A and B are shown apart, each in its own frame.
Chain A
Amino acid sequence: MALNDLPAHVAQHLTLALCALAIALAAGLPLGIAATQSAGLRGVVLALAGVGRTLPSLAVLMLLLPWLGVGMTPAVIALALLAIPPIVISVDLGIRGVSRAAVDAATGMGMTSLQRFTRVVVPLALPVSFVGLRTATTETIASATLATFIGAGGLGDEIVRGLQTDDATLLFVAAALVAALALGADLALGAAARLMAENQ
């Protein structure tokens, strides 16, 4: 029984997902904000994000293979690319949903554009924008399972090994762990969203 490898694979799985999400946030937040500032840019960014949402995750992981080879780096880059669209779409949606009146009131109170953005726009846009992060997180944890096919490790390794060695226990435990990670992250971020809503 090779269940004692599981903790290392869980750690690897979370590292893959968290690195990808950090990159996706670093790229997706400014892109989403920029999209709300110019109609032309918004058209391009949202069209690309729309296409990005439709691409099969296995295909995106595989398309980088000829250029970046196998391993952790291409897997993180591919997972980040997959996580950017939901973040960009929801940041744009959140900011555009902020009422004109609230922004005008802030201007009337003499706030600078930076103050207006950090004190009015961000808090009002946060609930909607947070949904995208939640979607991206569960999807990234799920897609990270496929990273095993380009040699990046994670719990996908254990599922594949369980299948290849016909080890049903390993397979079920590894599958349940990925599902628990994805569901757990979804529930935790859902609870965080409710807490934010109550504190507003």
Chain B
Amino acid sequence: MTYLAAHPARVAALAAAHLELVGVALAVALLIAVPLGLWAARRRNVAPWLLGALGAIYTIPSLALLAVLVEWFGLGFTPIFVALVVYAQFMLARNVVAGINGVDPAQVDAARGLGMSSPQVLLRVEFPQALPVLIGGVRIAAIAMISIATLGGYVGGVGLGVLIFNGLTLHQPQMIVAGSLAACALAIAVDATLRLAEAKTRPSTSSG
């Protein structure tokens, strides 16, 4: 705790960089996973294959994938960023498929009957109903990404992993503890925030 008490600004700056890395990677991952998931949800024979392949990638241990990416892109920001985007695909695409498939078909039919076009049905009926499940996927992905991002410190990236790995190199246990505790706190805070968002978007069932 002594390092944390002595250098709160440095720990906070690294936590902010950590969060920024995960946030940007998550945004890019969503830009890929949402269309991918929508496509798979429309084709029932595609979904198992796509999710199976993404699931297999997800099983590859992060340090192993990261090491291969370092061979490819060199040290720095790129390998950890690519690793984060790749890992998130499974959790995000899976929940997009589950969310869209979970929409009540009667409501989709009713919307079509009202004369809505396919994009209108998607935006006004399917997407709002799938949102809580999608946010659930975002939460699980964000937590996994915060964890994987700590390895960024090992491959010359940014974030709280820098404290952990510098602490290991310099034999500074307090630095390692500060980085680890901050990473745990960040994960717990993000989890709690997204759980709240998930609950807020879920249609209230308490009155019924």
Show the binding face of A for B, using Cβ within 8 Å: 51, 53-60, 62-63, 65-66, 138, 141-143, 145-146, 149, 156, 159, 162-163, 168, 171-172, 174-176, 178-179, 182-183, 186
B99 at the interface (CB under 8 A from A): no
Given contacts A142-B61, A146-B63, A179-B61, contact A59 B68 (CB under 8 A): no
Give the total of B residues in contact with A, Cβ under 8 Å: 35
Chain B residues with CB under 8 Å of A56's CB are 146-147, 150, 180, 183-184, 187
| CB under 8 Å from chain A, chain B span 128-149 | 143, 146-147
| CB under 8 Å from chain A, chain B span 49-91 | 56, 59-65, 67-68, 70-71
Chain B residues with CB under 8 Å of A58's CB are 147, 150-151, 161, 164, 180, 183
Contact A54 B143 (CB under 8 A): yes
Contact B68 A171 (CB under 8 A): yes
Q: B155 → chain A, closest Cβ, in Å?
A: 8
Q: B198 → chain A, closest Cβ, in Å?
A: 13
Some 19 contacts from A to B, beta carbons below 8 A apart, are A54-B143, A54-B188, A55-B187, A56-B183, A56-B184, A56-B187, A58-B150, A59-B150, A146-B151, A149-B168, A159-B67, A163-B67, A172-B68, A174-B67, A175-B61, A179-B59, A182-B59, A182-B61, A183-B59
Chain B residues with CB under 8 Å of A65's CB are 173, 176-177
How far does the alpha carbon of A168 sit from the alpha carbon of B70 in the complex, in Å? 10
Q: Chain A residue with minimal CB distance to B148? A: A56
Q: Chain B residue with minimal CB distance to A183? A: B59
Q: Which of B60, B150, B161, B188 contacts A51 (CB 8 A)?
A: B188
How far does the alpha carbon of A178 sit from the alpha carbon of B67 in the complex, in Å? 12
Q: How many A-B residue pairs have CB under 8 A?
A: 105
Contact A62 B188 (CB under 8 A): no
Show the binding face of B for A, using Cβ within 8 Å: 56, 59-65, 67-68, 70-71, 143, 146-147, 150-151, 154-155, 161, 164-165, 168, 173-174, 176-177, 179-181, 183-184, 187-188, 191
Q: Which of B161, B173, B183 contacts A66 (CB 8 A)?
A: B173
Instruction: Tell me which of B56, B61, B68 has the highest count of chain A C-beta atoms within 10 A of its own C-beta.
Output: B61
Q: Chain B residue with minimal CB distance to A167? A: B71
Q: B28 → chain A, closest Cβ, in Å?
A: 21
How far does the alpha carbon of A172 sit from the alpha carbon of B183 in the complex, in Å? 29
Chain A residues with CB under 8 Å of B176's CB are 62, 65-66
Q: Chain B residue with minimal CB distance to A179? A: B60
Chain B residues with CB under 8 Å of A66's CB are 173-174, 176-177
How far does the alpha carbon of A65 sit from the alpha carbon of B68 in the complex, in Å? 28
Contact A178 B61 (CB under 8 A): yes
Q: Chain A residue with minimal CB distance to B75? A: A163
